[in-house]
A and B are shown apart, each in its own frame.
Chain A
Amino acid sequence: LAKTTQPISMDSYEGQEVNITCSHNNIATNDYITWYQQFPSQGPRFIIQGYKTKVTNEVASLFIPADRKSSTLSLPRVSLSDTAVYYCLVGDMNSGYSTLTFGKGTMLLVSP
């Protein structure tokens, strides 16, 4: 299973762009990269998923270099409500989430 490494915590201010990088050096050919967000006392919530290059949705962008050994979640113009833990997952989506592991995540604190 591909192991992921993320910063334990990050600090930002409202209105700034936040980039959270995840390392996954042993990513396999069939693996996808998925990011989740978790607020206190809530279950994780899907943010974005990608395989290569760049993916963008209404919430975030995901940048994946050609070697796919890392990925960067980009949150544009964060607000206080973006304070949460962000998890990077890597795995073969053919198996659903059965084999996916949530790492320690990155605690993002957004201040006024």
Chain B
Amino acid sequence: DTAVSQTPKYLVTQMGNDKSIKCEQNLGHDTMYWYKQDSKKFLKIMFSYNNKELIINETVPNRFSPKSPDKAHLNLHINSLELGDSAVYFCASSQEGGLGMNTEAFFGQGTRLTVV
């Protein structure tokens, strides 16, 4: 059973299009995340979301919007795609714990987005 799954794995699209990437976790975690890994391999957090709060990285353009229909899903919608949006996008989830507890994030296999 896949813990965190994202679809599609590859996405090629033209500039200006709107696309969505879906993410589901079956771990019962209360927090989910979206990360972007660019061509230089830097892994940057874009959003984190639990049923209480959406935390947005201020550097993320408002063309990117997370949508969470329920606790197990956090989809990423991107409007008006640009060439610079080409990257690998990773979904992750974790169960927030207190001090003394291992807090492990589980990542999906990634979605390679190519904007042409």
A34, B102: Cα distance in complex, Å? 9
**Contacts of A41-60 to chain B: CB distance below 8 A:** 41-46, 49, 51
Question: Counting chain A CB atoms within 10 Å of each CB, which of B43, B97, B107 scores highest?
Answer: B43
Known contacts A94-B96, A95-B96; A43 and B107 CB within 8 A of each other: yes
Q: Is A27's CB within 8 Å of the partner chain B?
A: no
Known contacts A43-B107, A43-B108, A49-B102; A96 and B41 CB within 8 A of each other: no
Kindly supply a per-residue 1/0 record for chain B positions 80-116, scoring 1 wherever the CB is within 8 Å of any chain A CB and 0 otherwise. 0000000000101010111111111111111000000
The reply to whether A44 and B43 form a contact with Cβ atoms under 8 Å apart is yes
A85, B104: Cα distance in complex, Å? 17
A45, B105: Cα distance in complex, Å? 8
The reply to whether B107 and A97 form a contact with Cβ atoms under 8 Å apart is no
Interface size on A, residues (CB 8 A): 25
Smallest CB-CB separation from B4: which chain A residue? A43
Q: Is A87's CB within 8 Å of the partner chain B?
A: yes
Smallest CB-CB separation from A41: which chain B residue? B110
A46, B27: Cα distance in complex, Å? 15
Q: Is B44's CB within 8 Å of the partner chain A?
A: yes
Q: Is A104's CB within 8 Å of the partner chain B?
A: yes
The reply to whether B104 and A46 form a contact with Cβ atoms under 8 Å apart is yes
Contact partner of A30 (CB less than 8 A), chosen from B33, B97, B99, is B99
Smallest CB-CB separation from B100: which chain A residue? A51
Q: Is A102's CB within 8 Å of the partner chain B?
A: yes
Question: Counting chain A CB atoms within 10 Å of each CB, which of B97, B103, B110 scores highest?
Answer: B103
Can you show 7 pairs from A to B with CB atoms below 8 A apart?
A: A42-B109, A42-B110, A44-B90, A93-B97, A97-B94, A100-B45, A102-B42
List residues of B whose CB falls within 8 A of some A CB: 4, 31, 33, 35, 41-45, 48, 55, 90, 92, 94, 96-110
